[in-house]
């Protein structure tokens, strides 16, 4: 925030404007305030500005802030007449055209926010606000029914693990199979299809994915995708449903039984969901979620072992409901917690999401999370790795061969290299075919850039 103080002296003006300018002209102080990008540490401001062009920042409320000019050229010149104010003109930086070939159009943007009908946004924010009021607004409260449900699931899951040692072999195979099927419903369905529109699925494939996601039992696909779109658009802000800055436990499971931040509630009302509202399969699953959950997540997984190979109904319930359900929950939670805290950031070091291979193994390819947050439309959700660490990509490719999936969106290698060089932490070029690319041994190396060579030649002269 730029603050210019004007003092009116009895006679003359002193000094001129600087970045943190103070004009001492009188005892009467006038504050002129203008919005700018969030402040940064002195040693990071230049690097961040050059890498991300001032457009990668979100404030604590989850609103994007943009800087239109550099801090060194905000204001120049002097007041021409005493008592006259200087009008600062802001120039709008035209948005960069995308270099990819995805056919992007503004009307097709997934994350476009809808204007609230009947309300107009204020042209200017209030100049003076009490900083303590915002802290008083949000006091998280425990939602006891949700906490009770999570406690029941996790305690019952431990009991289910114990019973698994005494269960029949077919029950073990059944629980593994239902975990994989429900996992595909999450990754290929709710995540890559309905949340990100990274590929197009036929009607039959959407029905299959809705069924598989109902086995997972993680709410309906519409609600899941809504919160996930908010998570991507407002990551690590108060508007993020599972904001990793609030700690591992909150990002992992605490967000499910604590009241959400008011900014989360507000963003749920403005995120564009018209594409899913036009999807009959998605809306059917949303409308009938309760009976579908009872049938697909409880009755079917528990009843099949009991009916077909005589497994104890008691054992089947704790193994095929509690243990299975809790396993899929926690694997999904690892993406929100572990994959936002422990790992490298090859594509954007300014965000919390990381590359976590162990999470990719458990979550069928969802652990390449730094890449995924930078390129959320890529149906692979990762640049490297084979099907063993990205089972979901193999499933989508298989469906494409059968004609059930199409329009798979990817990122060009050039786009990946540009973003990694611009914002990454440098680790991308240490463990792949680009290792040591463009490195030089010293003066005279033929790979020395021409502009560097020319500058060095001038310095020697």
191-196 average pLDDT score: 96
- Residues of the domain holding 148: 144-418
Same domain, 83 and 223: no
How does residue 12 score in pLDDT terms, banded at 50, 70 and 90? very low
- pLDDT confidence of residue 29: 39
User: What residues are paired with 344 via a beta bridge?
Assistant: 355
Q: Is 90 exceeded by the pLDDT of residue 188?
A: yes
CA torsion, ordered 109, 209, 369, 65, to nearest 10 deg:
30
Of 29, 59, 93, which residue constitutes the final position of a domain?
93
229-266 pLDDT tens trace: 999 999 999 999 999 999 999 999 999 999 999 999 99
How does residue 385 score in pLDDT terms, banded at 50, 70 and 90? low
Provide the CB-side half-sphere exposure for 194 (13 A, CA): 33
How does residue 136 score in pLDDT terms, banded at 50, 70 and 90? low
**Domain-located, residue 221:** yes
**Domain-located, residue 25:** yes
- pLDDT confidence of residue 126: 52
**Domain-located, residue 86:** yes
| Rounded Cα–Cα distance for residues 247 and 257 (Å) | 15
Same domain, 88 and 150: no
pTM of the predicted protein model: 0.69
**Domain-located, residue 179:** yes
Q: Is 70 exceeded by the pLDDT of residue 418?
A: yes
Longest dimension (CA), the chain: 99
Asked if 14 and 25 touch (Cβ cutoff 8 Å), the reply is yes
Q: Is 60 exceeded by the pLDDT of residue 137?
A: yes
More confident residue, 11 or 152: 152
Same domain, 152 and 77: no
| Rounded Cα–Cα distance for residues 152 and 322 (Å) | 8
Q: Is 50 exceeded by the pLDDT of residue 359?
A: yes
- pLDDT confidence of residue 402: 97
Kindly state the helix (H) or strand (E) to which residue 32 belongs, with its residue range.
strand 30-34
50-74 average pLDDT score: 46
**Domain-located, residue 124:** no
More confident residue, 204 or 102: 204
Q: Is 80 exceeded by the pLDDT of residue 48?
A: no
Q: Is 90 exceeded by the pLDDT of residue 92?
A: no
74-81 average pLDDT score: 41
- pLDDT confidence of residue 59: 57
Same domain, 76 and 154: no
Q: Is 60 exceeded by the pLDDT of residue 166?
A: yes
130-149 average pLDDT score: 77
Same domain, 89 and 168: no
Same domain, 89 and 161: no
Same domain, 243 and 377: yes
Same domain, 163 and 77: no
Count: domains in the chain:
2
- pLDDT confidence of residue 455: 83
- pLDDT confidence of residue 448: 75
Rounded percentage of the chain residues whose pLDDT exceeds 90: 57
Same domain, 79 and 167: no
103-119 pLDDT tens trace: 444 444 444 445 444 44
Q: Which of 61-70, 176-185, 287-296, 405-414 is predicted with the least confidence, judged by mean pLDDT?
A: 61-70
Same domain, 153 and 87: no
How does residue 434 score in pLDDT terms, banded at 50, 70 and 90? low
| Rounded Cα–Cα distance for residues 197 and 110 (Å) | 8
When computed from its CA atoms, the radius of gyration of the chain, rounded to whole angstroms, is 27
**Domain-located, residue 317:** yes
Same domain, 68 and 190: no
Same domain, 72 and 171: no
Reduce the DSSP state of residue 292 to 3 states and report it: helix
Spatial neighbors of 234 by CB under 8 A, at least 6 apart, are 58, 62, 240, 263, 267
Using alpha carbons, list the distances in angstroms from residue 194 to 184, 185, 225, 245, 297. Answer: 13, 11, 6, 26, 20
**Domain-located, residue 435:** no
- pLDDT confidence of residue 428: 83
Asked if 113 and 55 touch (Cβ cutoff 8 Å), the reply is no
- pLDDT confidence of residue 452: 79
Question: Average pLDDT over the chain, rounded to whole?
Answer: 78
Q: Is 70 exceeded by the pLDDT of residue 187?
A: yes
Burial of 322: CB neighbours in 10 Å, binned 0-12, 13-18, 19+: buried
User: What residues are paired with 142 via a beta bridge?
Assistant: 258
How does residue 5 score in pLDDT terms, banded at 50, 70 and 90? very low
**Domain-located, residue 121:** no
| Rounded Cα–Cα distance for residues 333 and 223 (Å) | 16
168-196 average pLDDT score: 97
Mean pLDDT is highest, among 129-143, 309-323, 421-435, for 309-323
Q: Where are the alpha helices (DSSP H) in 28-139?
A: 42-52, 131-137
How does residue 75 score in pLDDT terms, banded at 50, 70 and 90? very low
Q: How far apart are the first and last CA of the chain?
A: 45
- pLDDT confidence of residue 414: 86
57-82 average pLDDT score: 45
């Amino acid at each position: 925030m730029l603050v210019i103080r004007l003092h009116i002296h009895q006679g003359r003006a002193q000094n001129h404007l600087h970045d943190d300018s103070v004009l001492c002209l009188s005892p009467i102080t006038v504050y002129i305030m203008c919005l700018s990008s969030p402040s940064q540490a002195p040693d990071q401001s230049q690097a961040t500005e050059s890498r991300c062009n001032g457009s990668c920042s979100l404030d604590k409320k989850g609103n994007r802030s943009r800087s239109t000019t550099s801090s060194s050229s905000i204001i120049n010149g002097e007041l021409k007449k005493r008592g006259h104010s200087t009008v600062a003109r802001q120039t709008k930086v035209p948005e960069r055209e995308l270099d990819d070939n995805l056919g992007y159009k503004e009307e097709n943007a997934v994350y476009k926010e809808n204007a609230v009908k009947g309300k107009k946004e204020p042209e200017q924010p209030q100049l003076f606000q009490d900083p303590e009021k915002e802290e008083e607004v949000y006091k998280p409260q425990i939602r006891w029914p949700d906490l009770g449900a999570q406690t029941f699931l996790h305690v019952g899951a431990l009991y289910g693990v114990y019973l698994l040692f005494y269960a029949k072999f077919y029950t073990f195979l059944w629980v593994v199979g239902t975990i994989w099927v429900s996992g595909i419903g999450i990754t290929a369905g709710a995540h890559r299809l309905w949340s990100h529109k990274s590929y197009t699925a036929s009607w039959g494939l959407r029905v299959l994915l809705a069924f598989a996601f109902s086995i997972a039992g993680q709410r309906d696909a519409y609600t899941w995708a809504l919160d996930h779109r908010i998570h991507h658009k407002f990551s690590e802000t108060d508007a993020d449903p599972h904001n990793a800055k609030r700690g591992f436990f909150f990002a992992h499971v605490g967000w499910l039984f604590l009241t959400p931040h008011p900014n989360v509630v507000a963003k749920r009302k403005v995120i564009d969901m018209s594409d899913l509202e036009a999807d009959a399969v998605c809306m059917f699953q949303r409308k009938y979620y309760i009976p579908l959950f009872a049938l697909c997540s409880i009755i079917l997984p528990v009843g099949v072992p009991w009916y077909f190979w005589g497994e104890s109904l008691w054992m089947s319930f704790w193994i095929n409901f509690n243990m299975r359900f809790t396993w899929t929950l926690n694997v999904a939670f690892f993406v929100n917690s572990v994959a936002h805290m422990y790992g490298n950031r090859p594509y954007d070091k300014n965000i919390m999401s990381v590359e976590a291979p162990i999470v990719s193994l458990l979550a069928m390819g969802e652990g390449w999370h730094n890449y995924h947050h930078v390129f959320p439309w890529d149906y692979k959700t990762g640049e490297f790795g084979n099907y063993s660490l990205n089972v979901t990509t193999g499933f989508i490719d298989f469906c494409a061969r059968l004609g059930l999936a199409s329009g798979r969106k990817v990122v060009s290698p050039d786009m990946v290299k540009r973003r990694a060089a611009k914002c990454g932490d440098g680790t991308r070029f240490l463990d792949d075919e680009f290792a040591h690319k463009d490195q030089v041994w010293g003066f005279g190396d033929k790979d020395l850039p021409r502009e560097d060579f020319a500058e060095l030649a001038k310095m020697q002269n």
